[in-house]
Amino acid sequence: MSVLAIAHRAGNSLAGLHEANALGVDVIECDVHEHRGRLEVRHLKTAGPLPFLWDRWELASASAPRLGLRELLEADRHGTTFMLDLKGRHTRAARSAARLLHELGHDRPLLVCGRHWPSVELLTGLPYVRPVLSARTRAELARLRTRLVTGSRVHGVSVHRSLLDKTLVGELLDHVEVVMTWPVNDTGVLEGLLTIGVNGIISDEPDLLAALVAGRE
């Protein structure tokens, strides 16, 4: 199969959605949070009762408008393949997403990923969902390797690039169709990952994604 070009966080805004579709990427990723009964797509996290959203060096007002998953899906005009990255160590977002997808009559392929695997697995009963299990740390990777051998089959895995080598990628591909990795924002890094067999590239860089798509022609 071709190497998947995955636009990291592009689904967190309507502008990002349109720009990524214009590039011709294969998958558009968005971060899905359940907040007070509503599914929101955003990278920034809430800060409890404090009036802001945050992530490392970034702050934003908690009162600023937030894009909902419903609005994102309804705005799509390209038959986009989305990847929903479910956030949080609970299944509320997954349960709400299942209800929303049913309401919208969604039936196109949809990737669902997350580091909280019960959330991902909750949606595997939907016929169009392709589950992707994520691992960010060495401890998570160790659990992932065991899970792939002992559990039900999943479509793919998403593993931080610092954990990957050629032997591991080969092992993972014995159990899944796609081995994705992030962050890939440099051409040299991209070439190294393709050399070891990675077939899903998650990037924030439009030029890198465009080059990946153009390389198939």
Over residues 54-69, mean pLDDT: 60
Confidence of residue 59 (pLDDT cuts 50, 70, 90): low
User: Is the pLDDT score of 50 beyond 50?
Assistant: no
Confidence of residue 56 (pLDDT cuts 50, 70, 90): low
**Amino acid in position 153:** R
Are the C-beta atoms of residues 32 and 93 closer than 8 Å to each other?
yes
Virtual torsion, Cα 118, 123, 129, 133, nearest 10 deg: -10
Over residues 150-171, mean pLDDT: 97
Residues of the chain with pLDDT > 70, as a percent, come to: 88
pTM: predicted TM-score of the whole model, two decimal places: 0.92
At 65 the pLDDT is 61
Q: What is the CA radius of gyration of the chain?
A: 17
What rounded mean pLDDT belongs to the chain? Answer: 91
Give all strands (DSSP E) within 22-177, no chain letters. Answer: 27-35, 38-41, 45-46, 52-55, 58-61, 82-86, 110-114, 129-135, 156-160
User: Is the pLDDT score of 48 beyond 90?
Assistant: no
What number of H helices and E strands is found in the chain?
8, 12
Confidence of residue 51 (pLDDT cuts 50, 70, 90): very low
Q: How far apart are CA 135 and CA 68, in angstroms?
A: 26
CATH class of 4-214: alpha beta
At 62 the pLDDT is 47
Over residues 84-89, mean pLDDT: 94
User: Is the pLDDT score of 217 beyond 90?
Assistant: no
Confidence of residue 52 (pLDDT cuts 50, 70, 90): very low
Dig out the tokens for 84 from the structure: 């929903």
At 60 the pLDDT is 47
Where exactly are the structural domains of the chain? 4-214
Which contacts (CB < 8 Å, 24+ apart) does range 172-175 have?
A: 172/145, 172/148, 173/197, 173/199, 175/148, 175/149
Over residues 50-59, mean pLDDT: 47
Q: For residue range 94-141, list pLDDT tens digits in order.
A: 999 999 999 999 999 999 999 999 999 999 999 999 999 999 999 999
At 54 the pLDDT is 40
At 35 the pLDDT is 86
**27-31, 50-54, 63-67, 202-206: the lowest-pLDDT one:** 50-54
Are the C-beta atoms of residues 86 and 133 closer than 8 Å to each other?
no
Are the C-beta atoms of residues 63 and 91 closer than 8 Å to each other?
no
